[in-house]
Structure 1
């Protein structure tokens, strides 16, 4: 029976306009991305985003703002993956150097956008976080590759 799997991802911004980046080392999605993770049973999406940021970065964010959703269906398993995206510019605490997820650090937005080290398909996420003109991204996995033409939906 297919399952629905829920995730979150948050772009944290500082006063200098930089974004907090995770250099993810796990083999299922390595590369530069924003921190995030699974929504636990009984947990709201916002609470999960706040928790994941704290666990992966040591920072406590306040008032994360929804900025989009990414979702995909795996054709073999039938599983549906839904990932809620947030922006946060209010935070406190001391940044960790990293966890078992990878190293976290501040990076210029345009430097991130131009990087050749992004996690697979993360370049497709960036317009939802950085451009503000889209609210949703949907694409399919056919068992071998991602759909070549992801579908963006405007606000």
Structure 2
């Protein structure tokens, strides 16, 4: 049986969690990209990092929407609430997108560079943010049918 109220709440949590995961992963990527520019209170650098994070989040979200929906659906149906599943799924999505990036398929040695590690870490952070907001309650909308065979 399905609890409609809990399903609606979980769908809302999933949407907010997806957005939070994208923003946190995009923020990590932007921070890593501008790590050479010391922010030391310079508002231009801070605004640049925040702007880059938001643009990165929107581009990544558009690219990963369907695969992420598939992985979230699997987690919801199977009631997978594990932090390891969600962090691993985020890392897998980010790394897969990076491997199939604009330069075409990257070689195995390119995957082991520091850029690949940064992308993988951004995916892990995004997956952890999603788990924190929505993944911990995956499958909460499913209710067990009542056992009517027992009599008092």
Is TM > 0.5 for Structure 1 vs Structure 2?
no
Q: TM-score, normalised on structure 1?
A: 0.27
Higher helix share: 2
Q: TM-score, normalised on structure 2?
A: 0.28
Higher strand share: 1
Higher relative contact order (CA 8 A, sep 6+): 2
Q: If you compute each CA radius of gyration, which structure gives the higher value, 1 or 2?
A: 2
